[in-house]
């Protein structure tokens, strides 16, 4: 079988945004920061936070189970879980996910790590496996799942977050069909952001932002080597999704590439961004940094929030991962895209979260820090005004119970 015989792309996307939220007004009041800097420049209004009975495994499973049918489960032959929030240095997240999503045993599975690029790396590998034709009617499930560490009082505390996105890939795409071969990628070792221990997430945020923009231009240059007609950036692409460590970074990225091919004022560039990419920020603004998930959550927001979007429109996708590796690729919108992304009900899930006070937020993060590297503990399900009973009990969501001699314990709510 020759490659490129099939359409390959995203059939479904499911998002699990956690069940708690931290309004930026609360953090800004506590830290003495002007909220207009966060809301208007960083473009973030609130961030997601997971309670103590959620972890990267439960978020991944709950995202996937929100979209999978029994038929999907039988056809999935490749499962890749991307995370920089791994819970074990040996055992992959993907084995727990395979078990608790009920996937068939004839399923390759593994975990990948490359900061915020990991999810895109996994999607690209899975898409090209499908395009080979050797998968027959197989499908691939790629899940990005991450949570921030504690950052009390740090400048970047405002933009952190948590959540998971599950992307089902097949030769019957219903959201986005990839234009395989139209890819530009770039690698450059840089120690911008790191997680050197089980408790610490640190680095140089300014270095990371510069590296992001360097990678953006370098991946686009590589893309142009393969697709020279894309030098007319505004004409070639109808819509755009950029990796979003925070929403405002997408606006910076768009200006950078747009101005390579035409001279525009800031006002003109902003009007272009409003039309072609601003809708991608709508859910990210409410979740904060979602790491590898951000481009896929951005795609959901773009499709949902663009009333005049048409089937066949070309969408550019840019993914950046600290360390670093980045990729610029594209796809076309499928006829069923709007109907399919509406099933994610992401807006409803975001509205259903419980807002936290600063004291509640700090207590959760401090407890998580205290448990890091412990061998035995049980997660209490009380507190937060009975939130577990109100939001979890009887809903068949996977929850984290704690550790027994380092062995992780899970149960259904």
Question: Does the active-site annotation cover 243?
Answer: yes
CA distance 214 to 384: 43
Question: Does the active-site annotation cover 84?
Answer: yes
| Contact present, 45 and 39 (Cβ < 8 Å) | yes
Q: Which of 116, 325, 330, 334 is catalytic?
A: 116
Q: Do 145 and 205 lie in a common domain?
A: no
Residue at which a domain ends, from 310, 327, 342: 342
Residue 161 falls inside a structural domain: yes
Q: Do 147 and 188 lie in a common domain?
A: no
Write down the pTM of the prediction. Answer: 0.97
Q: What is the DSSP letter of 196?
A: -
Q: Do 396 and 330 lie in a common domain?
A: no
Q: Which of 243, 254, 327, 340 is catalytic?
A: 243
Instruction: For residue 100, give the 3-state DSSP assignment.
Output: helix
Q: Do 314 and 209 lie in a common domain?
A: yes
Q: Which residues contact 51 (CB under 8 A, 6 or more apart)?
A: 18, 19, 20, 364, 384, 387, 388
Q: Do 203 and 320 lie in a common domain?
A: yes
- Structural domain boundaries, residue 60: 9-175+346-412
Q: Do 181 and 162 lie in a common domain?
A: no
Name the region of 359 (left: φ>0; alpha: ψ -120 to 50; beta: rest). Answer: alpha
Residue 330, pLDDT score: 98
Residue at which a domain ends, from 317, 342, 367: 342
Residue 370 falls inside a structural domain: yes
Q: Do 331 and 351 lie in a common domain?
A: no
Residue 5, pLDDT score: 53
CA distance 236 to 303: 18
- In 3D space, the residue among 321, 89, 327, 293 whose CA is nearest the CA of residue 189 turns out to be 321
Q: Which residues contact 129 (CB under 8 A, 6 or more apart)?
A: 78, 135, 140
In order of 118, 187, 197, 320, 399, the CA distances from 114 in angstroms are: 4, 11, 16, 9, 26
Q: Count of domains in the chain?
A: 2
Cβ atoms within 10 Å, residue 56: 26
Q: Max CA-CA distance within the chain?
A: 62
Q: Do 88 and 205 lie in a common domain?
A: no
Mean pLDDT, consecutive 10-residue stretches, the chain (413 aa), reads 68 98 97 94 96 98 98 98 96 98 97 98 97 93 97 93 98 97 97 91 92 98 98 97 97 96 94 98 97 98 97 98 98 98 97 98 97 96 96 98 98 98
Residue 6, pLDDT score: 72
Q: Which of 11, 46, 77, 84 is catalytic?
A: 84
């Amino acid at each position: 079988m020759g490659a490129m015989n099939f359409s390959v792309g995203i059939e479904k996307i499911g998002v699990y945004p956690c069940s708690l939220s931290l309004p930026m007004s609360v953090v800004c009041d506590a830290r003495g920061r002007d909220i207009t800097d966060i809301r208007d420049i960083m473009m973030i209004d609130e961030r997601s936070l997971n309670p103590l009975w959620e972890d990267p495994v439960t978020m991944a499973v709950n995202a996937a189970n929100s979209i999978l049918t029994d038929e999907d489960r039988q056809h999935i032959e490749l499962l890749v879980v991307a995370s920089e929030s791994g819970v074990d240095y040996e055992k992959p997240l993907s084995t727990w996910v395979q078990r608790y999503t009920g996937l068939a045993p004839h399923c390759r599975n593994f975990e990948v790590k490359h900061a915020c690029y990991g999810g895109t790396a996994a999607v690209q590998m899975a898409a090209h496996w499908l395009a080979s034709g050797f998968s027959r009617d197989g499908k691939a499930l790629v899940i990005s799942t991450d949570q921030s560490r504690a950052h009390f009082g740090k400048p970047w505390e405002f933009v952190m977050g948590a959540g998971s996105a599950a992307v089902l890939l097949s030769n019957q795409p219903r959201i986005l069909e990839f234009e395989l071969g139209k890819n530009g990628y770039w690698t450059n070792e840089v120690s911008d952001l790191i997680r050197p221990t089980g408790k610490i997430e640190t680095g140089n945020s300014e270095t990371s932002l510069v590296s992001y923009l360097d990678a953006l231009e370098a991946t686009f240059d590589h893309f142009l080597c393969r697709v020279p007609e894309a030098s007319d950036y505004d004409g070639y692409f109808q819509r755009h999704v950029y990796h979003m460590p925070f929403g405002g970074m997408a606006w910076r990225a768009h200006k950078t590439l747009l101005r390579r091919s035409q001279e525009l004022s800031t006002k003109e560039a902003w009007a272009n961004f409003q039309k072609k990419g601003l809708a991608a920020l709508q859910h990210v603004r409410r979740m904060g940094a979602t790491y590898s998930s951000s481009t896929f959550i951005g795609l959901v927001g773009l499709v949902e929030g663009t009333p005049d979007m048409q089937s066949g429109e070309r969408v550019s996708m840019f993914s950046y991962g600290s360390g670093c590796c980045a990729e610029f690729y594209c796809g076309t919108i499928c006829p069923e895209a709007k109907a399919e992304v509406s099933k994610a009900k992401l807006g409803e899930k975001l509205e259903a979260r419980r807002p936290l006070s600063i004291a509640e937020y700090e207590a959760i993060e401090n407890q998580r820090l205290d448990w890091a590297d412990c061998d035995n503990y049980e997660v209490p399900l009380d507190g937060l005004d009975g939130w577990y009973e109100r939001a979890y009990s009887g809903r068949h969501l996977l929850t984290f119970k704690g550790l027994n001699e380092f062995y992780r314990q899970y149960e259904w709510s």
